Amino acid sequence: MTAPYEGPPKGGPHVRSERETVAHESARGHVTGDALYTDDLLSRYPELLHAWPVLAPHAHATLETLDLAPALAEPGVIATLSASDVPGEGDSGANRHDEPLFPTEILFFNQPVAWVLATSLDAARNGAARVTATYSPLPAVLTIEQAIEADSYLTGPLRISDGNMTALADSAVRVDGELSIGGQEHFYLETQSAIAWLDETGGVALHSSTQHPAETQEIVARVLGVPKHRVTVECVRMGGAFGGKEVQANAWAAVAALGAWKTRRPVRVRLTRALDMALTGKRHPYLARYSAGLATDGRLQALRLELFSDGGWSLDLSEPIMWRSLFHCDNAYRIPAVDVTGRVCRTHKTSQTAFRGFGGPQAMLVIEDVLSRAAQRLSIPGDVVRERNFYRDGDTTHYGQRVDEAARMTTIWTQLKATSELDRRRAAIDRFNAEHPHRKRGLAMTPVKFGISFTATFFNQGGALVLVYRDGSVQVNHGGTEMGQGLFTKVQQIALESLGVTRERIRMMPTRTDKVPNTSATAASAGTDLNGAAVADACAQIRSRLLPVAASLLGCDEAAVVFADNVVSANGRTASFAAVCEAAYRQRIPLFAHGYYRTPDIHFDLAAGRGRPFHYFVYGAAVSEVEVDGFTGDYRLVRSDLLEDAGQSIAPIVDRGQIEGGFIQGVGWLTIEELLWDARGKVATAGASTYKLPSWSELPEIFNVALLERPPQPNVVFGSKAVGEPPLMLAISVREAIREAIAAFRPGAEVTLDSPATPERVFFAIRHVRAGAEEAEIAGTISRRDR
Ligand code: MTE
Ligand code: HPA
Ligand code: MOS
């Protein structure tokens, strides 16, 4: 392992301008349809069988009888899968082994109890419909409140405390409350899918739409009772994942593999949209109970916070997600005393999972809720209260990590205030509001500070295998997966700059467990940091082996050799990169290398709640303006200005796409997307007809997105910074702007608002501020409904 790479071998303005125009490596294929996804590959597998689940119609029940035989009478049905078919362990739970593939106790509505395999999807579905099963229903826990009441938890309380909490009672201003935060459906365009077959040497091979091929391999091996070397998992690319395929791809791959194992035929599992929405986990709904103490100038003195997440039927990643919530309840603010606890509720619902931000967004929403309410109560502009609380360089967080480069937050804030014309527009909005009794505008500015690294330290490693052929063409393998975020584009850029070759010389290979083993999930926004650095390491090794060969070909010192654009040159003499590779081969010098990277200087002691869990922080800020209609509660997003620190960006166009997409996904979560479960515990919003997603109409009418001007991040590959998740939380500015607009209906009002801020909730919040206490009851009832 070489030291982390701080820049390309030959950087400078030339490279910089080239990066400006780098498009997503699959952009053309995404548009033409040439970019293939897992389920596009099914026609390559003759004799393929399709799988359909038998679903339990209860949220909580005992399975009394199950008769699969009638399914076999359906024409086209080849086999059924049930517990007796499992050679290994019949469980797909990655951490706790609490996800039986063939359960006898039903733990959520529509839980699969068995699978039917047939020559067509229709036949499998018809076969599943013929299965007879009987159940004894049991009482179900369907909300966080019910879970608290029933003491139904998946974890003990997690806790971080710091500072002297007597500051709370001593504070001049107290902001206390409860905030209910809705979940979110991932709605990746490509639903969960896997194809499994037995290969020519007795191994089990899979294509899987998974963010974590190594873990999918592990679960498949466990279910089949074979060592991992018998199982190979490949992910060509995903049509979106957003955390929803970090662990939740495993079960479907396991079913496909089990089917192939039993029938000796290829088996395909692909969930329909309705099945995917009914069966897979979502962003966790949260309930927050908080007490915050502030000084009269708005400076935070103390925060006591209890978080409850709705984990659903199994543990999944709920525990690290809750840890990330505890780490992010400060957002960008120094709070002298903090006592935060988090508990994952066990409910009879889908098992909630990773989703862009990984528990950070919910906790950051709470502290922004506190500051907005405090600002309204104190009649100080929200942006002023916020900047008064910013960390300064050298401060430490409530978990004991020094906040390096906190000054970047202030730089971003100052710059964005100017470019968004915050002060001028605030005055204009005041005039607008004075003239319009039934329409009000609101403006809010919010910051983001987001910690980069997996909070479980051991995950922070990346691996690569770079193969250079004698003709100077290159294959790059690494442990990361492509889900649309542009990881492969960035890694290709790293490889081509490191080797001094042009783009078409570098072929990015699909992610495979037989190229790089024991990899981490592509998650925590660290895909490029980890895998890009590993590829840079491999390329640096190859380059250093090529250097003496090139020097002797060119008759010069090694120091004089320049690699660029497929040419190796020194003192006016040149040789092609291919010629150097061929010469190296003839001198018996290996032209391939594995690369490795581990993030330095991170650690965390879970028991003590202290350490340095993050390699660095990403900073950003947003200013949003909305206009709310007082008759309907409907609103439009007039303008958003975003400024994000992506360090020295490896692919600025890709990063811009991540910022825009992440922001809009956050706007959806906070304003229009609303998950509903019915009284039986069934997901009531299991399709695009009932679950409203943001689209063109939800884009800000004016949308200004900028990257902070190229401050390189020390100790990260090429000076870049992670960009995948942090922009999602810039959307909090939209929710807080809505709150400001609601408050404008009765100047001086302090507005409380649950999430999402749907037009319905906004309508009742306006009624509340207009009419006062009596209406508050109604608003409270409506806003708490159906989380
Ligand atoms: N962008 C697209 N287009 N599709 C996705 O599925 N996932 C997000 C983010 N951006 C996602 C995305 C999530 S949850 C994470 S953690 C990062 O991408 C993962 O990729 P990275 O580490 O390479 O940034
Ligand atoms: N972020 C995202 N995914 C994860 C993490 C994390 O911190 N830990 C385990 N999986
Ligand atoms: Mo992202 S939620 O870390 O996959």
Q: What is the 3-state secondary structure (H, E, C) of 377-417?
A: HHCCCHHHHHHHHECCCCCECCCCCECCCCHHHHHHHHHHH
Q: pTM for the whole thing? A: 0.96
Residues 6+ apart with CB under 8 A from 180: 285, 286, 287, 288, 754, 755, 783, 784, 787
Residue 393 vs residues 37, 144, 334, 378, 603: alpha-carbon distances, Å: 45, 38, 11, 27, 21
Q: Is the distance from the beta carbon of residue 246 to the nearest atom of ligand 3 less than 6 Å?
A: yes
Distance (Å) from CA 523 to ligand 3 centroid:
4
Q: Is the distance from the beta carbon of residue 361 to the nearest atom of ligand 3 less than 6 Å?
A: no
Q: Is the distance from the beta carbon of residue 241 to the nearest atom of ligand 2 less than 6 Å?
A: no
Of 189, 519, 522, 525, the residue with max ligand 1 atoms within 8 A of its CB, to mutate for a pocket test, comes to 525
Residue 751 vs residues 131, 374, 375, 429, 676: alpha-carbon distances, Å: 53, 10, 11, 18, 24
CA dist., res. 735 & res. 182, Å (int):
13
pLDDT at residue 6, as a whole number: 46
Pairing relation of β-strands 337-346 and 300-312? parallel
Ramachandran assignment for 544, one of left (phi > 0), alpha (psi -120 to 50 degrees), beta (any other): alpha
Atom in ligand 1 nearest the alpha carbon of residue 240? 6
Nearest residue CA, atom 16 of ligand 1? 523
Q: Is the distance from the beta carbon of residue 479 to the nearest atom of ligand 2 less than 6 Å?
A: no
Tell me the β-bridge partners of 118.
50, 77
Which residues in the chain land under pLDDT 70?
1-16, 772-787
Structure tokens at 547: 């250097």
Atom in ligand 3 nearest the alpha carbon of residue 524? 3
Residues 6+ apart with CB under 8 A from 123: 50, 74, 75, 76, 77
Atom in ligand 3 nearest the alpha carbon of residue 356? 2
| C-alpha torsion sign, points 743, 746, 749, 750 | negative
**Residues identified as active-site:** 725
Run of H or E residues at 667: helix 652-667
Of 758, 719, 721, nearest to 738 by C-alpha is 758
Structure tokens at 677: 């479960």
Distance (Å) from CA 321 to ligand 3 centroid:
10
Residue 646 vs residues 15, 556, 586, 612: alpha-carbon distances, Å: 17, 39, 43, 21
Atom in ligand 3 nearest the alpha carbon of residue 244? 4
Count of C-beta atoms within a 10 Å radius of residue 680: 14
Of 316, 460, 725, 728, the residue with max ligand 3 atoms within 8 A of its CB, to mutate for a pocket test, comes to 725
- Ligand nearest the Cα atom of residue 527: 1
Q: What are phi and psi of 17, to 5 degrees?
A: -70, -30
Q: Is the distance from the beta carbon of residue 243 to the nearest atom of ligand 3 less than 6 Å?
A: yes
pLDDT at residue 12, as a whole number: 54
Q: Is the distance from the beta carbon of residue 324 to the nearest atom of ligand 2 less than 6 Å?
A: yes
Count of C-beta atoms within a 10 Å radius of residue 175: 23
Distance (Å) from CA 353 to ligand 3 centroid:
9
Tell me which amino acid residue 423 is: D
Distance (Å) from CA 6 to ligand 3 centroid:
25
Structure tokens at 247: 């662990």
Decide if 359 contacts 195 (C-beta within 8 A). no
Atom in ligand 3 nearest the alpha carbon of residue 357? 2
Of 519, 402, 404, nearest to 465 by C-alpha is 519
Atom in ligand 3 nearest the alpha carbon of residue 523? 3
Buried b (16+ CB within 10 A) or exposed e, 490-513: bbbbbbbbbbbbeeebbebebbbb
Residue 295 exposed, middle or buried by CB count within 10 Å (0-12, 13-18, 19+): middle
Question: Dmax over Cα atoms in the chain, in whole Å?
Answer: 89
Distance (Å) from CA 246 to ligand 3 centroid:
7
Distance (Å) from CA 743 to ligand 3 centroid:
35
CA dist., res. 98 & res. 108, Å (int):
13
CA dist., res. 41 & res. 197, Å (int):
12
Tell me the β-bridge partners of 635.
628
Q: Per residue in 286-334, pLDDT tens?
A: 999 999 999 999 999 999 999 999 999 999 999 999 999 999 999 999 9
Q: Is the distance from the beta carbon of residue 22 to the nearest atom of ligand 2 less than 6 Å?
A: no
Structure tokens at 622: 């947003």
Of 109, 106, 115, 100, nearest to 135 by C-alpha is 106
CA dist., res. 223 & res. 366, Å (int):
41
Distance (Å) from CA 239 to ligand 3 centroid:
15
Of 189, 485, 531, 664, the residue with max ligand 1 atoms within 8 A of its CB, to mutate for a pocket test, comes to 485
